[in-house]
Structure 1
Amino acid sequence: MYVFQIHVISFATEHNWDSLDLHDGVDTNAPRLGSYSGTTIPALINSTSNNLYLNFQSDISVSAAGFHLEYTAIGLDSCPEPLTPSYGIKTGDRYLVGDVVSFQCDQGYSLQGHSHITCMPGPVRRWNYPIPMCIAQCGGALTDFSGVVLSPGFPGNYPSSLDCTWTVKLPIGFGVHLHFVNFSTEMIHDYMEVRSGSATTGTVIGRFSGPQLPAPLFSTTHETTLYFCSDYSQNKQGFRVIYQAYQLQSCPDPRPFRNGFVIGYDLSVGRTISFECLPGYTLNGEAALTCLHGVSRNWNHPVPRCEALCGGNITALNGTIYSPGYPDEYPHFQDCFWIVKVPPGNGIYINFTVLQTEPIYDFITVWDGPDQTAPQIGQFSGNTALESVYSTSNQILIKFHSDFTTSGFFVLSYHGDYLPGKGAQDLCSPLQEIKDFCNRSIIHFSISIRDGQ
């Protein structure tokens, strides 16, 4: 006795409306082996009798490529050889009574049917279950650290009127990297939406439609949702998306931050911190950094530095000036100029809190004005501190010079002081001479301010 083995070469019909029915006998009253529509059909179909009845029906609307089937009559000494499902793997090459063959699918496809089949005894050798299929399903729950999401029917066209949701759920502390390998949908009407989080409360991080391949995406929560919707009209190939878990580590902590401080303690993905320098230092770099998405954690810019620069224009009423590179020793061959300007009516008081330079050859010069044509009011060098000088102008020029040999450092502070008669009227009249009092006398003063002063 012989039975039929049907090998499916190609199959494409209008999904749900145009179908092919196979019956294990001479007419439609015989047991039905299967009813197939769209692009989903086993690669191999086996009958259990020597008759096979095929019934194809189509409606009045959409046409498709149809199908191409080849059949072979085989003897019943053993079970018919089961072909490997499309997009799957078959394990086992013996088909005698009691032999077992197992199946599994490629990533992104789900096994429809039984993963193990056994060759059964009897007058007709047959498998105890039909050969399974590997299909791309509409939605699902994914928990592996890597995987594939496919549109239903991929690589064939997806069906109409789909409403599919895939959820990738990983342990807390992991996010998902999405890489789009294929993407083609009907523009506007068929689309994919990606959320970082659940379908109801997650943040939308991407919405895609049309033929353009989306750029990679990073979801920064342990749950990621992919939603796909198609309408009733045009169908396209759809999509193939590879996902990979990555650990949601924080960006490197820039602390300790030399000569300054960091504002903000949250170093996780998407968060921003900022930097400020101590008085006398200048920020070199970006003042704010954001922790980037990605497999490895990095800031969007290099961490800035707070540096004591060689010269500058200073307008604060009070401040500090450091030798270049402080607290490290200053470099050789420096000629640095600082112009300090305070509001009119003020002079400037300078005090050296640290002064350790090479005597004579490395020195600081101060002019009582904005340039070197102004009177020089001081030159400082050596290893002394608490040196000070006053200006009579609201601007001073400070120059630091170093030669090619010994280095050192210095720190000076300054502040603006009110100068009587310099751009503002004195508020108090001169104090009259006090006469005729004895030791231990108590003297009372009365101060009044005229209107408008």
Structure 2
Amino acid sequence: MHPGSIWGLLSVFLSLTLGGTKAQQTNYTRPVFHCGGDQVAESGFVGSEGFPSFYKSNSKCTWRLTVPEGNVVTLSFRIFDLEADSQCRYDYLDVYNGHSDSTQKLGRFCGTFRPGTLISTTNTMMLEMVTDSETQSRGFVAFFSGTKPYANDDQFCGGKMTKSQGEIMTPNWPEKKYPPGTSCSWLITVEPDRVIQVKFEKFLLEADTYCRFDYVAFFNGGERDDSRLIGKYCGDQAPQPIITNGNELLVQFVSDLSVTSDGFLAYYTSVPRGSQPPTVNSGADTRTIPPVPAAKPVEPVATLPPPVPTTTKYVPPPLVKPTRGRVTRPNGRKPVAQNPLCAKDCKRSGTIKTSFCSSEFVITGKISSLTLGPRGTLNINVSLIKAYKAGRLSIAQVGETMAVKLVSLCKKCPLLRRGGSYIIMGQVDEEGRGTLEPGAFTALYKAPHNRLLMSITNQPC
């Protein structure tokens, strides 16, 4: 995307907000983002150095945000584009619940999937961006603001909790639905030698396959390298009991500005360390079907005739050579229809440029699983490296990895192997899944291809 187009997307946010903040700027519509710095304000923008130009290599930038006392920091990303890696090892952004990397880490982010809203438990937050010597991208822009924790009579949405047991609930519980546009953050701390168990009594949040709108998220807290996402939940199915790895737990509840629901009520208690195995969760919502183990594709098996009496030795009739994609037996049985798409030559159509323009999505990613689907199709799970063109394609956060689901209409073509990294282009169905026809453009991906794809992205189709 051209820098001018990026600023076009941001113009509404900037014109409404920057005039009353202390963000670094040269005028009211084109702020200048530097490598780190301290911002003390009720609200403002923070962005990678030089945005919307590509960020620098071999850099480390730290931003410290402070909002007025009595508020918490809410951070919402407007644009996010860093080098993608399934484990965020190269270029990444860390966000901390305070002004030091010794405080709890709210998350590590990379790639092109925009992170959800992040909320601190105090009036401070720190962002730290690290880049390596190779691939660079556009970077990020985020809006921060100080918000009051939700309070209603004796109910309090968020805060620090240090008792060995207690309850957490959505605002307005149980009298009415939680309000729209709510952000709550609880930091629960128990005795050092114990862990925290959470059980839900009631649970009803707005449903979404990837919990993008209303959700509650749980993070292991405490040790710097242990502040990882346990799970992110929504829908009408209560999560299984959650157990932390240590004695600190961060709980975040977010609702968007549209649909609301009844909310949830959960109880937490401290339990002896090691009494139960820690919760392992992919980070997907409660409605996600567990992934099916990858299976090696097999050839279709022809239908056998009815059993023959054991007194007679049975010799199966020979198969007749298939004609026009159909298998016929000489006994006059009805022919078995084959997948008509598979009758085509397994050859990709178009060049990388023409396919880029005609495709609804263009991604690079690593194939994590391949499973057979109905009618000769193949279900493909891809660990996302980078999305150059997403459209309506659904991208899910699974732990610290972004993933997409694709369906190949013919299991044999295009040929993809589990564990391989590919450039993949295709269309998107009504459910947000990527679809691949036999002629879809796929190619083995290597790091230098990123510059070529970025160049095509910036060219008109």
Structure possessing the higher relative contact order (Cα contacts under 8 Å, 6 or more residues apart): 2
Structure with more of its chain in helix, by fraction:
2
Computing the radius of gyration from Cα coordinates, the structure with the larger value is: 1
Instruction: Answer yes or no: same fold by TM over 0.5.
Output: no
More strand by share: 1
Q: Normalized against structure 2, the TM-score is what?
A: 0.31
